[in-house]
């Protein structure tokens, strides 16, 4: 099963499939450790018993006759054999091997014996595994024919039946304990996962029960912290869709409200033209229809531009505000000559990089320049000024036209709002388009009276990016 299929499964099943094998591995490791501990415990306990048998035999060694004599503690050996639940072997011999009592072919210890220190080892004796305890000490007096005291080697061996039974019992206890722990942990895991997923089930039910038009953010105070980023992302998506739906609704409302009158006027003018026999009056009626159509087209384009500015997705890029302002200004020079208005640009020599969408920013600046040219009388002046203020780029359009009454500046930029001193026909959408675009780009639109209270200064502000923002 690959990871993709695993991720597609339910969260509860995925957790169980991932965690349960882990529990089994831990249980296997615990079982191995229990077995090793049991073996060490059995060896420790039975090795002490072996050492007791060795000490008992050592206490019965005598050299009084000049030779090596051992009075075997039969009762102790019988008891030890009974305890071992198997066979017991012993060997008492001098280190040179000339004198041996017991089982002479008992395997020697694997390492050199240190005097007074017992050594325990595993070996095979007559094809059967045994545990051997070995001990060495100096005899009290030299044996006959020897100038110095020799060491005597005492070995006691037992078969491993009792040890194996003891180890098996300990391991079985550990297995029973681990099985209980695994079952308990699995049950607790299932219950804990089910309990932890209950808020998600509640969230799902709440989302399913929502009405189609309900685009309010999801409120889930009991959601786990790990899931909260997902809820935040869903809320972000809901808010984005809410803005899009709201923009579409406003567009439909605006279109139905703003286009009804021009279309009715056009219908009236066409009906009048159809009834007019006089060619001169007919030509005048057609010219009026042409003007009305141009105004309707311009109004429709502005509403589309506003809808696009409010809802369309766009990708920002690094743009030099000065270069963009120069490009837009040059595009309107022909229009300004036809209107008899002096259109110029004043800009700084340094680059002013901003993050923006080129088409939208051009749309915003074009609206400001077009408004200024439209309302500035012949012989007037319109100036595009590009400058910097701290970490902000400023693109201002300054004209000496009628401006907007200062008491109405706070409302300028609202949809379909036009100043009370406006004489030219219009929709009141130009500044609304500019404000919407600049706000989506992280900037703002500032409106202020011109010098000596004449004209209007409309300024687009955008944050600088890169090293220029820190210069």
Q: What is the pLDDT of residue 324?
A: 92
- Nearest to 371, CA basis, from 449, 429, 305: 429
Q: What is the pLDDT of residue 320?
A: 92
Phi/psi of residue 7, nearest 5 degrees: -70, -25
Query: Which of 36-40, 255-259, 427-431 holds the top average pLDDT?
Result: 36-40
Count CB atoms within 10 A of the CB of residue 361.
Answer: 24
Rounded Cα distance, 67 and 98, in Å? 11
Percent of residues, the chain, with pLDDT higher than 70: 79
Q: The tokens of 89 are what?
A: 């072997």
Phi/psi of residue 94, nearest 5 degrees: -75, 160
Confidence of residue 333 (pLDDT cuts 50, 70, 90): very high
Q: Residue 52 pLDDT more than 60?
A: yes
The maximal CA–CA distance of the chain, rounded, in angstroms, is 165
**Cβ–Cβ under 8 Å, residues 431 and 447:** yes
Which has more confidence, 333 or 1? 333
> pLDDT, tens digit, for every residue of 188-242?
877 887 787 787 778 778 788 878 777 788 877 777 777 778 888 888 888 777 7
CATH architecture of 317-469: 2-Layer Sandwich (3.30)
> pLDDT, tens digit, for every residue of 267-277?
777 887 777 78
Q: Residue 36 pLDDT more than 70?
A: yes
**How is the chain split into domains, by residue range?**
13-167, 224-312, 317-469
Q: What is the pLDDT of residue 268?
A: 79
Q: Residue 2 pLDDT more than 60?
A: no
- Tell me if residue 449 falls in helix, strand or coil: strand
- Nearest to 361, CA basis, from 313, 328, 396: 328
> pLDDT, tens digit, for every residue of 84-117?
566 788 888 887 777 788 788 888 888 888 888 9
Three-state SS sequence of 41-106: HHHHHHHHHHHHHHHHHHHCEECCCCCCEECCCHHHHHHHHHHHCCCEEEEEEECCCCCEEECCCC
- Nearest to 399, CA basis, from 450, 345, 344: 450
- Close Cβ partners of 51 (under 8 Å, ≥ 6 residues apart): 118, 133, 135
Q: Residue 170 pLDDT more than 60?
A: yes
Return the half-sphere exposure (C-beta side, CA atoms, 13 A cut-off) of residue 119: 18
Q: What is the pLDDT of residue 422?
A: 61
Name the average pLDDT for the chain: 78
């Amino acid at each position: 099963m690959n990871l993709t299929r695993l991720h597609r499964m339910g969260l509860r099943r995925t957790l169980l499939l991932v965690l349960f094998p882990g529990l089994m591995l831990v249980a296997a490791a615990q079982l191995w450790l229990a077995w090793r501990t049991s073996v060490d415990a059995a060896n420790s306990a039975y090795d002490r018993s072996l050492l007791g048998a060795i000490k008992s035999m050592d206490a019965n060694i005598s050299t009084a006759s000049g030779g090596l004599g051992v009075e075997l503690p039969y009762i102790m050996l019988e008891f030890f054999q009974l305890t071992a639940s198997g066979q017991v072997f012993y060997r008492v011999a001098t280190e040179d091997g000339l004198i041996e009592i017991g089982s002479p072919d008992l395997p020697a210890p694997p390492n050199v014996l240190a005097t007074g220190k017992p050594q325990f080892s595993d070996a095979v004796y007559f094809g059967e595994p045994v545990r051997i305890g070995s001990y060495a000490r100096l005899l009290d007096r030299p044996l006959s024919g020897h100038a110095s005291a020799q060491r005597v080697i005492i070995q006691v061996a037992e078969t491993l039946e009792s040890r194996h039974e003891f180890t098996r019992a300990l391991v079985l206890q550990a297995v029973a304990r681990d099985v209980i722990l695994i079952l308990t942990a699995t049950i607790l895991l299932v219950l804990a996962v089910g309990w932890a997923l209950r808020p998600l089930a509640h969230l799902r039910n709440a989302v399913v029960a929502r009405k189609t038009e309900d685009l309010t953010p999801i409120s889930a105070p009991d959601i786990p912290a790990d899931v909260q980023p997902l809820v935040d992302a869903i809320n972000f998506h809901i808010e984005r869709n809410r803005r899009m739906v709201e923009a579409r609704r406003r567009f439909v409302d605006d279109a139905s409200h703003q286009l009804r009158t021009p279309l009715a006027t056009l219908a009236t003018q066409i009906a009048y033209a159809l009834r007019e026999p006089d060619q001169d009056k007919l030509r005048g009626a057609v010219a009026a229809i042409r003007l009305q159509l141009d105004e309707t087209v311009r109004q429709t384009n502005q509403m589309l531009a506003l809808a696009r500015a409010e809802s369309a997705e766009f990708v920002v890029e690094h743009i030099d505000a000065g270069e963009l302002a120069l490009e837009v200004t040059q595009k309107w020079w022909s229009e300004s000559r036809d209107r008899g208005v002096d259109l110029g640009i004043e800009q700084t020599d340094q680059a002013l990089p901003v993050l923006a969408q080129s088409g939208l920013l051009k749309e915003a600046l074009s609206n400001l320049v077009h408004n200024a040219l439209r309302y500035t009388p012949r012989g007037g002046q319109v100036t595009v000024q590009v400058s910097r203020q701290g970490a902000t780029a400023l693109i201002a359009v300054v004209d000496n036209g009628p401006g907007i009454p200062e008491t109405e500046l706070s409302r300028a930029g609202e949809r379909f709002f036009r100043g009370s001193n406006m004489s030219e026909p219009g929709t009141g959408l130009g500044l609304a388009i500019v404000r919407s675009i600049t706000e989506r780009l992280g900037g703002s639109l500032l409106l202020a009276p011109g010098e000596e209270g004449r004209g209007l200064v409309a300024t687009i502000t955008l944050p600088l990016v890169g090293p220029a923002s820190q210069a």
